[in-house]
Amino acid sequence: MSTPVLHLDDPVKRQKVLELVRGLDLTADTQKKIRDVFESEMELGLAKNPPVASSLQMENTFLPELCDGSEEGDYLSLDLGGTNFRVIWLRIKSGAVVSEAVQYYQVPEDVRLGPGVKLFDFLAECIHNFMDGRQLKGQNLPLGFTFSFPMTQQGLDVGILVSWTKSFNCSGVVGEDAVKMLNDAIHRRGDTDVDVIAVLNDTTGTLVQGAFVDRKCAIGLILGTGSNACYIERADRIEKWEGEHKDVKEVVIDVEWGAFGDNGVLDFIKTEYDKEVDRNSLLVGSFTFEKHFGGKYLGEIVRCVLVRLTKEGLLFQSNASEELLQHGAFTTRFVSLIEEDNVNGVDVNTTGALNELKLAFNKEDIEIVKYICWLVSDRAAILVSICTASLLERMDRPETTVAIDGSLFKHHPRLKSFMEKYIAAMAPANKFQLMLAEDGSGKGAGLIAAIASRLKKQQAH
């Protein structure tokens, strides 16, 4: 795939446009520097007493192995990450899901903002109703709990809430174990025979879901609204892990790379557009790495560039519509559609997007907009590929499947092919493949419950 060239009749105008977007074009030296910084931050994150704090949490998930094909039985998962949540039932036979059912629920606002005990009582009630409606009562069912909020794990079944995000702010939960609070609520009812035996985030769930399908899977990646990754690390490399891990050879580490560079170590790649996106975001100065390419931000980066070029008299005859000036108006969906035009050599989606934004445009404007969408998408792929290639080389397996979930990866027409090209160049000795693995936060939680049950049985013998 050849690199797009910006074709403009006026060489001076072309030079001005390229000058204003130069920072989005990552040179080979810059890419190497990003990788060096990422690897240094990983080591700091795994260290027991690092000289400086890392921007990468490198959280131990306490998950020492993945699916091995021996999984059997009925399992539940509770997937809580926003206003809407799900309860899922899986029946596994001979290492394959043979039946499943899902029910969606909504957390009312007074519950999201009230006492924590009330929230967990509500979740326990929904689990009870789900089981009641499916004649699952009377069975003792293990449950995997996807808790998509910042947490510190102290065991496979211990997740301490660090802070609420999104629309939740329940009192009495920060600093507490979410698993214990949910188990307590279930047992308080006295009519539901369920044990919460594992807690995870969607990234770990994606890895487990991927490994269930493909045993070579060793990296889980989220490329959606935001981004994160987890991978399999050797236990002897985790300095900060103290406790019962003498028999554990490896464990899944949750990198939490959405926050990579929050401590300033990546400031050298931040353009004026990245800084503007961060300033207008909900959590200023936090999760800054994912703001370079997450689905929530990709379109906004393009919008900031287009506004700047318009103000400089290089686009839309210097007339930015009210729509273009609106924060969030140029969506990541537009970027994907315009990238489709780049693939197909047409302008139909580009003109549609610009008409929707009520802009007056000519052929050169279309050319510039298509180029900017390519440039921002290309940088996104490079940034994700640098970190993924680094993980591949660190694990150094004969072949690795990378399980990826998220709307950006699923809908962007070129992200996968860009990543395949860059990762292959950055980790030439490591065979890999990228695989879409959907619903790690749901199905993955049930599969982790199955793994946790197997581990418990092994420990009992």
Active site positions, annotated? 166, 202
Q: Rounded to whole angstroms, how far apart are CA atoms 134 and 234?
A: 41
DSSP for 51-82?
SS--S---EE--------S---EEEEEEEESS
Distance CA 438, CA 454 (A): 24
Contact predicate 6/368, CB 8 Å? yes
| b (16+ CB within 10 A) / e for 33-52 | bbbebbbebbebbbeeeeee
Structure tokens at 348: 């139909």
| Residue 349: its H or E element | helix 348-356
Structure tokens at 297: 């931000």
Alpha-carbon gap, residue 1 to 298, rounded angstroms:
22
Taking CA atoms, 397 is separated from 36, 231, 236, 427, in Å, by 21, 12, 17, 12
The helix or strand, by DSSP H or E, that contains position 124, with its residue range, turns out to be helix 116-133
